[in-house]
Structure 1
Amino acid sequence: MDYAVLREDMVDGLELSLGPLDETVGLALRTVPRHEFVADAPYENRTGEHRDTRTTILSPSTATRLVSALSPDPDDSVLVVGAGVGYTAALVAEIVGDANVHAVDITRKLVYEARSNLQKAGYGGVLVDCRDGADGLPEYAPFDRILVEASAIRPPRHLLDQLADDGRLVMPMGVGDQSLVAFEDDEVVETFGPISFKPLLVDGEQTGSIVRNRTKREDPEYEGRGWHAGTGWEQEWIDWGAR
């Protein structure tokens, strides 16, 4: 099986559906061996589900939209929140260099798998750690780019604090109806249309855990914001996903 031909066909299909791709993003898509990350029909444009963790495996078109919105430059320092199987981190690593990419995931099994996949694909320099994504990776901050592969109603404060002065954070923003947005200087500077992601998890919500403790993050996020009192923000914040 000629995987290079399959990647070319995949990119041709993405350009038909998404329009012309940035040259660097297109080259990354043609280079990264997606079959090292996804076993089932890796070059078909469809979403999958991880067999053990029920984590969503992004379709090539969604991964392309994320990396295009992130707009990384060579040698940028990048943090990927929600490493998953590692494919998006590999696309970014192809553009900026694998030693410049750091990724975190709250699910330990995915961390191990992403490390293995990245090593097999030739991007072993990507650092993947098991962390609550909202906490980021302060040891390696600041980051020129931060990509969040999970939804929230606003970027977690720790992630914004870890951006470089001219940095860019990309994430799906919203509760029900979500939009892919880019933040710079604490403000939305670009929107890239509707998108659908599962919510950013806190410890206790990943597969295999028995504790649900979303207030672990909400309370610190809203502490000291007097305007929230009596407005019912709790329900909007807690009800991130379908019940």
Structure 2
Amino acid sequence: MIRLLRFQGISERVLDAMARVPRHLFVPENVLENAYEDVPLPIGEGQTISAPNMVAVMCDLLDVRNGDKVLEVGTGLGYHAAILSILAGSGMVYTVERKPELAYKAREIYKKLGLINIDVIIGDGSEGFPEHAPYDRISVAAAAPDIPGPLIDELKDGGRMVIPVGHYYQDLYLVEKAGGQVKTYNKGGVAFVPLVGKYGFQ
């Protein structure tokens, strides 16, 4: 998996983080044999774990640095947040999941792996997590109809966010905030489950 991602131009820093996270721990038994294939997989509750390539691309775009405070929306079983936590080093990752069963399982996996700089919150990720805002980086793993206002508000000046936007046709956007101005960059077509919530799909 790592060799294939390297061939696709993913940075060595992100590849190193991904190499340290055993993806098979984050997928159900019925798809275990496909854990290291570059495809999204069902994880239950109508949700999926993103393909490794998509996780890698999003991490590269975010450019998470040691000490960063990161917000992730859409924990799932926690694979993406685990990689973000390694990239953040001495920083902290807050990840929000609306499905309690998935959140509980993610917490158990983190405990097993000894990842102590991740906090899993059960809630509406479209509202972000204002208790610890602002964030250096925000990663959204579900497609919103538009970029939620609260997430823009919770992004630190100088910060970055990656988020898929759209319904039937989705694009991945890089959002940068600098000097109070917000700029968005379309990074191409993607396919994610919908972001359900107050500022997402109803």
Q: TM-score by structure 1 length?
A: 0.75
Contact in 1 for aligned 2:10/2:57 (Cα 8 Å) = no
Q: Deviations over 1:14-67 (max 9, x none)?
A: 233xx222121011111112222124132122221113x121121211211221
Contact in 2 for aligned 1:151/1:172 (Cα 8 Å) = yes
Compare relative contact order (CA 8 Å, sep 6+) and give the higher one, 1 or 2. 2
Q: In the TM superposition, what is the alpha-carbon distance from 1:98 to its structure 2 partner?
A: 6.7
Higher strand share: 2
Separation (CA, whole Å) in 2 of partners of 1:139 and 1:47: 31
Say which of 135, 142, 148 aligns to 2:140.
148
Contact in 2 for aligned 1:147/1:171 (Cα 8 Å) = yes
The answer on 1:198 being equivalent to 2:190 is no
Contact in 1 for aligned 2:148/2:199 (Cα 8 Å) = no
Q: In the TM superposition, what is the alpha-carbon distance from 1:217 to its structure 2 partner?
A: 4.3
Contact in 1 for aligned 2:5/2:15 (Cα 8 Å) = no
Aligned length: 195
Q: In the TM superposition, what is the alpha-carbon distance from 1:69 to its structure 2 partner?
A: 1.7
Q: TM-score by structure 2 length?
A: 0.89
The answer on 1:50 being equivalent to 2:43 is yes
Query: 3-state DSSP class of the match of 2:157?
Result: strand
Q: In the TM superposition, what is the alpha-carbon distance from 1:199 to its structure 2 partner?
A: 1.2
The answer on 1:139 being equivalent to 2:128 is no
Q: Aligned residues: percent identity?
A: 35
Separation (CA, whole Å) in 2 of partners of 1:217 and 1:102: 19
Computing the radius of gyration over CA atoms, which structure comes out larger, 1 or 2?
Answer: 1
Provide structure 2 residue ranges, at least 5 long, that are not aligned to the other structure: none
Say which of 46, 53, 60 aligns to 2:52.
60
Separation (CA, whole Å) in 2 of partners of 1:29 and 1:122: 16
Question: Which one-letter code corresponds to 2:13 in the other structure?
Answer: T
Query: 3-state DSSP class of the match of 1:159?
Result: helix
Contact in 2 for aligned 1:33/1:121 (Cα 8 Å) = no
Say which of 26, 30, 34 aligns to 2:23.
34
Query: 3-state DSSP class of the match of 1:103?
Result: strand
Q: Deviations over 1:82-121 (max 9, x none)?
A: 0111000011111112751110011111110111112222
Separation (CA, whole Å) in 2 of partners of 1:27 and 1:155: 30
Contact in 1 for aligned 2:95/2:120 (Cα 8 Å) = yes
